[in-house]
Amino acid sequence: MSDDQDTFDLFGDMHPYNKRFKVFTRLPEKGRDEDEVLEELAYMAEQENPKWQGGQCSGTMYHGGMEHYAFLNKVFSLYSFVNLLQRDLCPSGTKFEAEVLAMVGKMLHGDDVSKVNRMDEEAGAITSGGTDSIYNAMYVYREWGRETKGITEPEVVAPATIHPAHLKAAHYLGMKVVRVPVNADFEADVEAMRAQINANTVALAGSAGTYPHGVVDPISKLSDLALEHKLGLHVDGCLGGFILPWIEKLGYNVPVFDFRLPGVTSISCDTHKYGYSLKGTSTINFRSKELRQYMYFTQEDWPGGAYVSPTAQGSRSAGLSAAMWAAMVCMGEEGYLKAARAIMDTADKMREGIARIPELRIMGRNSTFLIAITSDVFDPYFVNDYLASKGWRMNGCQNPLGFHFCITLPQTQPGIAEKFVQDLADGVKFAKDPPYEVPKTGFLYGMGATADGREMMRLGMRGYIDAGYEVE
């Protein structure tokens, strides 16, 4: 590792407040003053919020309006202490979640399922986020494959760009995800996926859009393939599910990915991203109630009484579901369309600016709200290094090397698109003659090129997780 890399902290300072505030390694003997605690928390928030409020952070904060967050926090506070398991005490929870699922189902054209089979009725559940939604979908296909086909070693065939949550779920559930290389446009290679289908395959998976490049996989072709082989088809719409429908309404060319396609059997869709709710909510929607029931767990003979749970989660705060419902009914179709228009106006300006920089190339031909950038001339991580020095926070990509900018509402502030394009152009000049040999922001991804490097990277990533649970 070079001297530059020695001084470069890959993950940043994990404990920036230890020198300013008392570190608690055990419960204090006496409880602290509430005003003092609030003052301390406010200081930390004031230090961290400016990192994204200026519009230079990719993704992460999707709405960004502090008044919007303040409203949702008020809603959350009314139900924060309520457990959604106790629906007899909290029938409002049924209103919030049932109506959210109905609204999301309508947005994803759930009404179309009965046109294919009049007995089917689109149905869903609320989860804690995209990973949770994907986990529950994977669990459903495992149980469905076991019960209807006798499959005991279930496999899911997916493009290499599929979100790691699918592999994480497979790791926990004793399944296998067969990852297939994507085509030159970074979209799922349907024929290559066809070749991987075997007697153990329970489902296919695709994205709308992919996290690395923002492209929508050819879900219509995957739908045909799923019907041909009588398989499930999960569409990961965690990132794009709540914005692509509105972008389509604005007239952009968005490939169909939802329940209009007869082979699509489930869709995950994050309300806490472009749904503009508080963090910790998502939906998983199925083509039929029958399929949804494979997700349920029941125990009829427990000494504590009959137990039933719809998802892998147990206790859940009704505050998050209330805030989710409030965000959606207050935004309305008009609000979501307005937000999508502002985001696409910004994305279009950025694309036009990037097109004037010949050394850079945008990855993917049908991406919309997310712009992935690479270079065939130099290591694009040098450009990312320069952007980082100017306060930009991009998301790194690999295979091929590059980075992406997920456009959210904070980027729609006046002048942000123009500033990004100018800094990007200056970053290209920097990358042509960098003052060091190995880019700082790309060092971590560069390790993934060899088996030894991947092992080192794996150990480092685990160490990073460890550090997140340590006081110093």
CATH number at residue 233: 3.40.640.10
Dihedral sign from CA coordinates of 251, 255, 257, 259:
positive
Beta bridge mates, 201: 155
Residues in Cβ contact with 235 at an 8 Å cutoff, skipping those fewer than 6 apart = 205, 206, 207, 208, 219, 241, 257, 258, 264, 266, 267, 268
Q: What is the pTM of this model?
A: 0.93
User: What is 77-141 written as a DSSP string?
Assistant: HHHTT-BTT-TTT-HHHHHHHHHHHHHHHHHTTGGGHHHH-TT---EEEEESSHHHHHHHHHHHH
Using alpha carbons, list the distances in angstroms from residue 106 to 102, 111, 245, 288, 458: 6, 7, 11, 14, 41
pLDDT of 302: 93
In a domain, 18, yes or no: no
In a domain, 166, yes or no: yes
Q: At what angle do helices 416-432 and 318-355 cross, to 10 degrees?
A: 60
pLDDT of 15: 87
Q: How far apart are CA 53 and CA 15, in angstroms?
A: 22
Q: How far apart are CA 138 and CA 266, in angstroms?
A: 10
Give Cα 351 distance to the centre of its chain.
22
In a domain, 344, yes or no: no
**Token pair 């993917």 is at which residue?**
364
Phi and psi (nearest 5°) for 67? -65, -40
Q: How many Cα atoms sit within 13 Å of 183 on the Cβ side? A: 14
Count of domains observed in the chain: 1
In a domain, 96, yes or no: yes
Using alpha carbons, list the distances in angstroms from residue 286 to 108, 145, 269, 271: 11, 15, 11, 16
Using alpha carbons, list the distances in angstroms from residue 210 to 187, 198, 201, 253: 9, 25, 22, 16
pLDDT of 444: 64
The domain in which residue 284 lies consists of: 91-327
Residue count (the chain): 472
Give Cα 235 distance to the centre of its chain.
13
Helix (H) or strand (E) holding 168: helix 164-173
pLDDT of 86: 87
In a domain, 204, yes or no: yes
In a domain, 313, yes or no: yes
Question: How would you class 308 by CB atoms within 10 Å of its CB: exposed for 0-12, middle for 13-18, buried for 19 or more?
Answer: exposed
Residues in Cβ contact with 47 at an 8 Å cutoff, skipping those fewer than 6 apart = 16
In a domain, 229, yes or no: yes
> For every one of its 472 residues, what pLDDT tens digit does the chain have, with 9 covering 90 and above?
334 433 345 556 788 999 999 999 999 999 999 999 999 999 999 999 999 999 999 999 999 999 999 999 999 999 999 999 888 899 999 999 999 999 999 999 999 999 999 999 999 999 999 999 999 999 999 999 999 999 999 999 999 999 999 999 999 999 999 999 999 999 999 999 999 999 999 999 999 999 999 999 999 999 999 999 999 999 999 999 999 999 999 999 999 999 999 999 999 999 999 999 999 999 999 999 999 999 999 999 999 999 999 999 999 999 999 999 999 999 999 999 999 999 999 999 999 999 999 999 999 988 899 999 999 999 999 999 999 999 999 999 988 999 999 999 999 999 999 999 999 999 999 999 999 998 987 766 666 666 766 777 777 778 777 777 788 7
Q: How far apart are CA 56 and CA 46, in angstroms?
A: 17
Q: How far apart are CA 199 and CA 185, in angstroms?
A: 30
Kindly state the tokens that stand for 200: 């153990």
Residue pair 15/468 in contact (Cβ under 8 Å)? The answer is no
Residue pair 424/430 in contact (Cβ under 8 Å)? The answer is no
Q: How far apart are CA 439 and CA 384, in angstroms?
A: 8
In a domain, 408, yes or no: no
pLDDT of 466: 79
Q: Is the peptide bond before 310 cis (omega within 30 degrees of 0)?
A: no
pLDDT of 404: 96
